[in-house]
Amino acid sequence: MTEPIRFAPYGEFEADCPARLGVDLFGNRWLPVVVYMLREGPQRHSELLAGIGGISQKMLTQTLRRMERMTLVRRRRYAEAPPRVEYELTESGRDLLVPIHALGAWVDAHGAAVSAALYGGTDV
Note the pLDDT tens digit of each residue in 32-46.
999 999 999 999 999
0.75 surpassed by pTM: yes
Which contacts (CB < 8 Å, 24+ apart) does range 45-52 have? 45/85, 45/87, 48/87
Tell me what the mean pLDDT of segment 6-10 comes to.
63
Instruction: Please give the pLDDT value at position 98.
Output: 96
Reported as a pLDDT band with limits 50, 70 and 90, residue 14 is low
Find out whether 32 and 96 touch, Cβ atoms under 8 Å: yes
Give me the half-sphere count of Cα atoms (radius 13 Å) on the Cβ side of residue 83: 6
CA dist., res. 104 & res. 40, Å (int): 17
Which contacts (CB < 8 Å, 24+ apart) does range 9-12 have? none
pLDDT of 84 above 60: yes
Reported as a pLDDT band with limits 50, 70 and 90, residue 26 is confident
CA dist., res. 39 & res. 41, Å (int): 6
